[in-house]
Amino acid sequence: MTFGREIDEVPAFELIARYLEAGGNFLDTADVYSAGRSEEIVGKAIEHCRADVVLATKVRFPMGNGPNDQGLSRKHLIQGLEASLRRLNTDYIDLYQVHGWDAHAPLEETLSALSALVRQGKVRYIGASNFAGWQLVKALSISESRGFEKFVSVQLQYSLVERSIEYEIVPACQEIGIGIIPWGPLGQGFLSGKYRRDQLPPEGSRLATAEPDWEEHWSRRATEVNWHILDAVQSIAGETGRSASQVALNWLLHQPAVSAVSVGARSTAQLDENLGAVGWELTEEQLGRLDVVSRPRRMYPYPNRL
Ligand SMILES: NC(=O)c1ccc[n+]([C@@H]2O[C@H](COP(=O)([O-])OP(=O)(O)OC[C@H]3O[C@@H](n4cnc5c(N)ncnc54)[C@H](OP(=O)(O)O)[C@@H]3O)[C@@H](O)[C@H]2O)c1
């Protein structure tokens, strides 16, 4: 998401090369990221190894000012896919995701159009993003009754500082058997531990540059509850000899229904650190401490395992 925005082509190539070298194979982008620039950069970076990469992109948000330049209608889905294929310089997408719910497009039409794209060989699997539990269940039920392709995954914001999907969406995913791909796994950098209670966020960082209505705006991250969560993460980092980012990512990998974590990184140093989140395990006791300190408040009628 940051390619073409925080980082341009050359450093992005370097990041992707490092990730692939370390054994990573899943890359996620979207048509709307930097108005298509992110897709162009990813496409160029994987030219030599396209078949080895599980390439995911998304469609839904405006790519122009016209009424059909956005949404999940058949018209925009076909147009959006063709444009993504061109920018990514490939003839198929491994995971084509709808970037959010579209109340104006009938879900039957969306699923029927996506299924046609799979049948044409242009898409391998379909996924959703930012859907509520009932929306996922409704989609599955339509796919089953009409013989359409089913969503296999859903991308959702999920981290130690944003666990609200556990009320309703995680149980829905477990019930219907689809995988969660968390985005914002470090609370957009907050859980790396580089921010301080008594200081404004460093200039140029994601939290400093976030608009007031963005998830990572400072007012939403620098809360007393979140500082307590970070204290626990840092204390466990000290015990394990790992970094705060590695602890936060390792916690996420232990959560039910999580099948892949989508990490963002601005530099190879950040990426290397984040890749160190695997290959070791938090203990049950440490997972328990992180759970207690970050548990969302009880909300009727949801059970508090939440
Ligand atoms: N489906 C959706 O709606 C949706 C929405 C958002 C994102 N996504 C996807 O999820 C991916 C990850 O999301 P995200 O970027 O929000 O995730 P994130 O991992 O929570 O945040 C990444 C940011 O944190 C900072 N950071 C990362 N590693 C660090 C480290 N080790 N030490 C210090 N700072 C570190 C960097 O920003 P600074 O250097 O500026 O601090 C980086 O840009 C995106 O690239 C995108 O593909 C999907």
Average pLDDT score over residue span 155-165: 97
Which bin fits 77, alpha (ψ -120 to 50), beta or left (φ > 0)? Answer: alpha
This prediction has a pTM of 0.97
C-alpha to C-alpha distances, 16 to 47, 203, 230, nearest whole angstrom: 12, 25, 29
Residue nearest to atom 26 of ligand 1 (CA): 189
Is 92 annotated as catalytic? no
Q: What is the pLDDT of residue 163?
A: 97
Q: Is the CB of 59 under 6 A from ligand 1?
A: no
* Nearest atom of ligand 1 to the alpha carbon of 159: 20
Of 104 and 306, which is predicted with more confidence?
Answer: 104
CA of 148 to the centre of ligand 1 (A): 33
Q: Which residue among 19, 33, 96, 167 is the active-site one?
A: 33
b vs e for 217-238, b when ≥16 Cβ sit within 10 Å of the residue's Cβ? bbebbbeeebeebbebbeebbe
Residue 97 Cβ contacting ligand 1 at under 6 Å: no
Sign of CA dihedral 120, 26, 294, 213: negative
Length of the chain (residues): 306
Q: For position 304, what pLDDT does the model report?
A: 59
Q: Provide the percentage of residues in the chain whose pLDDT is more than 70.
A: 99
What are 22-71's pLDDT values in tens digits?
999 999 999 999 999 999 999 999 999 999 999 999 999 999 999 999 99
Atom of ligand 1 nearest to the CA of 216: 16
The pLDDT of residue 303 is: 75
Asked if omega into 275 is within 30° of 0 (cis), the reply is no
Span between the terminal Cα atoms of the chain, in Å: 30
pLDDT, mean of residues 210-234 = 95
CA–CA dist 209, 218 (Å, integer): 9
What is the band of 116 on the pLDDT scale with cuts at 50, 70, 90? very high
- pLDDT above 70: residue 305: no
Report the CATH architecture of 1-157: Alpha-Beta Barrel (3.20)
Distance 300 CA to ligand 1 centre (A): 32
